């Protein structure tokens, strides 16, 4: 068996304490384990080989927990992940695997003495646009700001109507309000999680009229943008949405906060989610597919005008020594930029692992309770980012499954248990007439997300499968 030692424990091990090393030596002597880490070293003559963990069968991470025992002595307890609960995300393990490189990046920034809008941000923006194959990437300090600043850059006059869905994270709608626009909501598809193109058409037909410069809501608010959300990392069908947007003269801003690395096909060509419209907004919140060690975000666009406008807005609309308007401070700092540059180099490895985990869940679908519906493969989705692996519990509720999985020591969570439109204040700010969204409402009852991450071990995903399988005979309603 391979035992992978995370970087954060290597130094501790090198220094001692000796009983932790003794325990490892005993394990190695039995011939049952070999030691691996991100560098080739010797710990008190114990050979440690270098490898990138593959998380295959029989692969364990070591979790050396520090415990204070009597007299203040620190004892290290060696555990594999087996006996712990299976985590929903594997953020700290992924960071652990990159700790050496991250430490070097942090040191580089500290010694540079430049902490805001320096060469790390500049290089990250170039690397992001090269990776995503898009002309411009402008970093900001969150996904929420990325959405807001993209909306401000693309729509001249506020308030304007922005069409989105109520089944999303609060920030999508918050950004619309923050940009001083008005959200209008349409339902999601009957069995999926994403904006329904037919629902957009119906909304335009039923509640709006065609004006000279585009559609106008019956309240008099001109509609200017479509804001689809690539929820859970699944790209929306952009070809369908683009057709409607073109004929209704709407700009499109993609909420790609959860979808870094997702790929969609459009007119038989592949594109990264977030890059096919007027602007895409990414979040680098730590749990996201490309996560910083704090907050961060980016707007990507192929328009120089939009990129320049966002650059201005994020830095107080500064122009030399003067200011050309009211912007804000939404700069990504150099430390996060340097860390993100490290994470971007490895983003494909973690993406691949998440794809393996998703494929494994799908492969075992037939063993699960019949009323569990796993995500469907869709023709336009070339690669799902698998930020979350979300299952629909039809005939029962997501809530029941969360508590059932908890009994099996498997973490799960509901994204999202309420619609944005269920918040009492939303319709005091929006003049929308049609306020029922049956598909989205149903999803809030059904969904639950199971462990998904770039550093889940095979044992752990087996445990998730077992937990979903052992509940096969759960009483149906
Ligand atoms: C769909 C969606 N949009 C926007 C955001 C906002 O991103 P941030 O948290 O970086 O502001 C998030 C973050 O969770 C999100 O999930």
Beta strand residue intervals within 194-233, DSSP E: 208-211, 214-217, 223-226
Closest residue by Cα to atom 12, ligand 1, is: 257
Distance 90 CA to ligand 1 centre (A): 18
Q: Helix %, strand %, coil % for the chain, to 5? A: 40, 25, 35
Is 255 near ligand 1, meaning CB less than 6 Å away? yes
Residue 138 has pLDDT above 60, yes or no: yes
**What is the structure's pLDDT at 43?**
78
Between residues 18 and 340, the one the model is more confident about: 340
Is 142 near ligand 1, meaning CB less than 6 Å away? yes
97-100 long-range contacts, CB within 8 A, separation 24+: 97/6, 97/7, 97/38, 97/52, 97/53, 97/346, 97/455, 98/7, 98/342, 98/343, 98/346, 99/6, 99/7, 99/8, 99/38, 100/7, 100/38, 100/39
Q: What is the pTM of this model?
A: 0.91
Q: What would the mean pLDDT of 172-200 be, rounded to a whole number?
A: 97
Q: Which atom of ligand 1 is found nearest the CA of 145?
A: 11
- Alpha helix segments (H runs only) across 316-413: 334-363, 398-407
**What is the structure's pLDDT at 297?**
98
- By three-state DSSP, how is residue 98 classified? coil
Strand partners, 301: 136
Query: Quick one: pLDDT band at residue 231, thresholds 50, 70, 90?
Result: very high
336: closest CA among 282, 291, 289?
291
Domains delineated in the chain: 2-84 (no CATH), 99-343 (3.40.640.10), 349-470 (3.90.1150.10)
Residue 294's region, left for phi above 0, alpha for psi from -120 to 50, else beta, is: left
Between residues 2 and 231, the one the model is more confident about: 231
The string of pLDDT tens digits covering residues 327-351 is 999 999 999 999 999 999 999 999 9
Q: Which atom of ligand 1 is found nearest the CA of 255?
A: 3
Give the Cα separation of 255 and 151 in Å (integer). Answer: 11
Is 285 near ligand 1, meaning CB less than 6 Å away? yes
Is 258 near ligand 1, meaning CB less than 6 Å away? yes
* Range with the poorest average pLDDT among 54-58, 223-227, 290-294: 54-58
**What is the structure's pLDDT at 187?**
98
Is 283 near ligand 1, meaning CB less than 6 Å away? yes
Is 225 near ligand 1, meaning CB less than 6 Å away? no
Concatenate the DSSP letters of all residues of 427-445 into one string.
HHH---S----HHHHHHHH
Give the Cα separation of 135 and 16 in Å (integer). Answer: 50
Q: Which atom of ligand 1 is found nearest the CA of 295?
A: 10
Is 171 near ligand 1, meaning CB less than 6 Å away? yes
Distance 2 CA to ligand 1 centre (A): 37
The string of pLDDT tens digits covering residues 427-471 is 888 888 778 999 999 999 999 999 999 989 888 999 999 999 976
Mutate to test the pocket of ligand 1, among 91, 140, 142, 144 (most ligand atoms within 8 A of CB): 144
Mutate to test the pocket of ligand 1, among 254, 258, 274, 388 (most ligand atoms within 8 A of CB): 258
Distance 400 CA to ligand 1 centre (A): 26
**What is the structure's pLDDT at 58?**
38
Measured in degrees and rounded to the nearest 5, phi and psi for residue 28 equal -65, -40
Give the Cα separation of 212 and 215 in Å (integer). Answer: 8
Is 282 near ligand 1, meaning CB less than 6 Å away? no
Q: Which atom of ligand 1 is found nearest the CA of 229?
A: 1
Q: Which atom of ligand 1 is found nearest the CA of 168?
A: 1
Concatenate the DSSP letters of all residues of 129-155 into one string.
HHHHT-SEEEEES-HHHHHHHHHHHH-
The string of pLDDT tens digits covering residues 25-84 is 777 777 767 788 877 888 778 888 877 776 654 344 555 555 554 554 444 444 555 567
Is 449 near ligand 1, meaning CB less than 6 Å away? no
Mutate to test the pocket of ligand 1, among 257, 280, 292 (most ligand atoms within 8 A of CB): 257
Averaged pLDDT of the chain: 90
């Amino acid at each position: 068996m391979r035992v992978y030692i995370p970087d954060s424990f290597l130094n501790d091990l090198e220094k001692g304490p000796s009983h932790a090393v003794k325990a490892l030596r005993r394990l190695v002597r039995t011939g049952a384990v070999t030691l691996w880490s991100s560098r080739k070293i010797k710990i008190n003559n114990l050979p440690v080989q270098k490898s990138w963990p593959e998380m295959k069968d029989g692969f364990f991470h070591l979790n050396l927990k520090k415990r204070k025992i009597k007299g203040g002595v620190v004892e290290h307890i060696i555990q594999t992940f087996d006996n712990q609960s299976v985590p929903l995300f594997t953020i700290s393990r992924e960071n652990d695997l990159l700790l050496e490189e991250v430490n070097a990046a942090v040191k580089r920034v500290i010694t540079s003495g430049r902490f805001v809008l320096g060469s790390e941000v500049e290089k990250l923006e170039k690397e992001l646009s090269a990776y995503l194959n898009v002309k411009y990437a402008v970093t900001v300090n969150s996904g929420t700001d990325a959405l807001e600043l993209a909306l401000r850059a693309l729509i001249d006059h506020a308030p304007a109507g922005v069409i989105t869905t109520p089944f999303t994270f609060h920030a999508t709608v918050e950004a619309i309000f923050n940009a001083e626009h008005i959200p209008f909501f349409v339902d999601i598809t009957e069995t999926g999680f994403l904006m329904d193109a037919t629902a957009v058409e119906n909304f335009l037909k039923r509640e709006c009229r065609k004006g000279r410069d585009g559609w106008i809501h019956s309240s008099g608010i001109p509609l200017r943008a479509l804001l689809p959300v690539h929820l859970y990392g699944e790209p929306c069908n952009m070809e369908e949405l683009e057709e409607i947007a073109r004929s209704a003269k709407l700009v499109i801003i993609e909420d790609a906060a959860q979808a870094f690395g997702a790929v969609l096909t459009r007119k038989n060509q592949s594109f990264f989610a977030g890059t096919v419209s007027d602007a895409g907004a990414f979040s680098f919140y730590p749990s996201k597919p490309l996560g910083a060690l704090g907050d961060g975000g980016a707007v990507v666009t192929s328009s120089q005008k939009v990129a320049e406008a966002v650059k201005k807005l994020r830095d107080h609309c500064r122009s030399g020594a003067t200011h050309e308007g009211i912007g804000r401070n939404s700069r990504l700092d150099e430390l996060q930029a340097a860390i993100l540059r490290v994470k971007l180099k490895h983003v494909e490895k973690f993406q691949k692992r998440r794809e393996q985990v998703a494929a494994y869940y799908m492969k075992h679908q037939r063993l699960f309770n019949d009323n569990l519906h796993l995500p469907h493969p869709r023709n336009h989705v070339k690669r799902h980012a698998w930020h979350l692996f979300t299952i629909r519990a039809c005939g029962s509720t997501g809530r029941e499954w969360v508590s059932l999985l908890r009994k099996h020591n498997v973490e799960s969570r509901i994204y999202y248990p309420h619609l944005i439109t269920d918040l009492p204040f939303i319709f005091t700010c929006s003049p929308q007439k049609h306020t029922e969204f049956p598909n989205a409402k149903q999803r809030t009852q059904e969904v639950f997300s199971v462990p998904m991450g770039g550093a889940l071990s095979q044992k752990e995903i087996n445990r998730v499968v077992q937990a979903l399988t052992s509940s096969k005979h759960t009483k149906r309603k």
